[in-house]
A and B are shown apart, each in its own frame.
Chain A
Amino acid sequence: MEHIEMQLIAECMQDAFAQGKTFSFTPYGDSMLPTIQNGKHFVTFTQCINPKVYDIVLYRRPSGMYVLHRIVGKLRDGFMLCGDNENTIEYPIYQKDMIAKVIAIRDENGKSISLHCKGLVKKLWLKKVKLFIKKILCS
């Protein structure tokens, strides 16, 4: 299997969204485990309008790198994002940098996977988010 440049995928997504269509592909990476499994899950995206906390979004870092992470919080300056399998919260991320929002995940057998974070993972996030906000407020 040949890997495709994310820049090309992002361009194709924009074209698909301009036609009012969704776009699907199989992402690679471990940062969204266990929700999205490296090279195994087929993910469907739609345009990222009105993103909300717990949405999984594809966004572009200022470095040009594309990342698929979950919104774990929102503060005045922007959104807080973190991979389900990561500890570091990225902040602030702006809506203008969010290219697409995940609307469906399917496994190799076509079985639908829940987009929602599991209970324990969610609890850990809430803890991380609280610590992060505390750090911001204290700085």
Chain B
Amino acid sequence: MKLKDGFLLKTVAGSKIVVPIGEQSSAFNGIITLSGSAAFLWEKLQVGATEEELLDALLTEYRVDRDYAAADLKRFIEKLHTAGMLEA
């Protein structure tokens, strides 16, 4: 899985935000605020990663139950899919 081109990840006053640019800014009018873990996943997805790789990275970075992390990750990926942010 990889994020489509045209999203800018920025840190503003300690918060991570995603700003659509270029053609993407025509599709997404606004700015997305990410939680710390979502921003962590976002960075991995910018270069591309499988769901399993993302889960492993989450478990390495955060002290969290595997099932809990897997469920959260699934929801996050579904959201990105629904929003059309992931490459086909």
Contacts and interface: CB of A to CB of B under 8 A. Distances in A.
B29 A12 contact: no
Interface string A56-78: 00000000000000000000000
Contacts, number: 40
Interface stretch (A20-28, A79-87, A113-121): A20-28
Interface string A4-20: 10001001100110010
A37 interface: no
Nearest to A110: B26
A53 B32 CA distance: 36
Interface string B58-74: 00000000000000000
B31 interface: yes
Given A15-B21, A19-B21, A24 B26 contact: yes
Contact of A25 (B8, B22, B29): B29
B79 interface: no
Nearest to B28: A24
Interface residues of A, number: 15
A10 B42 CA distance: 23
Interface residues of B, number: 13
Contacts of A4: 31
Nearest to A15: B8
A22 B8 contact: no
A15 B22 CA distance: 11
A42 interface: yes
Contacts of A24: 20, 25-26, 29
Given A19-B21, A22-B21, A44 B8 contact: no
Interface of B: 6, 8, 10, 12, 19-23, 25-26, 29, 31
Interface of A: 4, 8, 11-12, 15-16, 19, 21-26, 42, 44
